[in-house]
């Protein structure tokens, strides 16, 4: 990837996860005609959540590598149109029970602990794998994970008691001199890919977990909170969403919710 692009992305203060995402998009495009490639995506009604980062990646690349001006690209690049994002899907309570038992049985650390924590914290996979020990704070006897998340926004994630116990047990095995919460045997933090290997493994081994991803676990956290009556503003804060419209994608009843509602009649 171009050094000029990397330099621009760093100067813009973008997180490593965002920079990596843009570089992955440009690498996958594999074309010299990026404007044409982006036009084809827009005309194909690609989901908006895919078009937006693609447009941003192309724009940064053309400015840093080919010297385009921003106002010039605003005219040349297609407007970011696409299909609305699909409603978010989550594990049902029955699926979650299967998942927690399967994750707990994994012999591989630190992936096992991360997989146990994801549906209890709602963290993005890049956030939890990049946790440092300094991000763990205690206030009024409660453990809170405090870090900079997407968009460099301050994120505060209070841990439920069971999650706090899981994290504490894990930390006892982490080398004292490691700054990372989830280091590998080589000392570096586990990568998001290193966790996704096991979500794919569980999805293959258990029919009830078909389609399992770390993002599904994040959705499961949001849905679990909604079932307890958490209001949308608090949910937005807990999920780390900049826009409440993103949070509203989680506000759809599952089949189980509809059955429960009828059963209350």
Phi and psi torsions of 47, nearest 5°: -50, 140
C-beta contacts of 186-195 below 8 A and 24+ residues apart: 189/129, 189/130, 189/131, 190/110, 190/111, 190/114, 190/129, 191/129, 192/125, 192/126, 192/129, 194/111, 194/129, 195/111, 195/114, 195/115, 195/125, 195/129
Catalytic residue among 124, 155, 170, 219: 124
The question of whether 250 is a catalytic residue gets the answer yes
The question of whether 161 is a catalytic residue gets the answer no
The question of whether 241 is a catalytic residue gets the answer yes
Catalytic residue among 8, 108, 135, 150: 150
The question of whether 218 is a catalytic residue gets the answer yes
CA distance 162 to 247: 25
Catalytic residue among 8, 135, 215, 249: 215
User: Counting Cβ atoms within 10 Å, is residue 234 exposed (0-12), middle (13-18) or buried (19+)?
Assistant: exposed
Catalytic residue among 112, 170, 218, 219: 218
The question of whether 124 is a catalytic residue gets the answer yes
Q: Which amino acids are annotated catalytic?
A: 124, 150, 215, 218, 241, 250
């Amino acid at each position: 990837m171009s050094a000029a692009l990397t330099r621009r992305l760093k100067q813009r203060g973008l997180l490593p996860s965002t920079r990596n995402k843009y570089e992955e998009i440009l690498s996958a495009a594999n074309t010299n005609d990026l404007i044409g490639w982006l036009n084809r995506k827009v005309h194909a009604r690609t989901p908006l959540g895919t078009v937006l980062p693609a447009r941003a990646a192309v724009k940064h690349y053309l400015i840093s590598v080919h010297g385009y001006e921003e106002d010039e690209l605003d005219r040349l690049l297609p407007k970011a149109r696409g299909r609305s994002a699909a409603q978010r899907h989550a594990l049902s309570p029955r699926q979650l029970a299967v998942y927690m038992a399967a994750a707990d049985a994994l012999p591989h650390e630190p992936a096992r602990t991360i997989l146990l924590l994801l549906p209890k914290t709602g963290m993005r996979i890049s956030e939890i794998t990049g946790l440092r020990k300094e991000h763990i704070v205690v206030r009024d006897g409660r453990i809170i994970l405090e870090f900079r998340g997407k968009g460099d926004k301050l994120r505060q994630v209070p841990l439920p008691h069971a999650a706090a116990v899981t994290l504490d047990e894990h930390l006892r095995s982490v080398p004292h001199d490691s700054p990372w919460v989830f280091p590998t045997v080589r000392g570096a933090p586990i990568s998001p890919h290193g966790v996704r290997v096991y979500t794919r493994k569980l999805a293959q081994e258990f029919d009830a977990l078909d389609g399992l991803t770390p993002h599904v676990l994040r959705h499961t956290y949001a849905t679990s909170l909604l079932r307890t009556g958490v209001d949308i503003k608090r949910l937005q804060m807990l999920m780390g969403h900049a826009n409440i419209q993103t949070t509203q994608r989680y506000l759809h009843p599952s089949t189980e919710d509809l059955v429960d509602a009828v059963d209350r009649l």
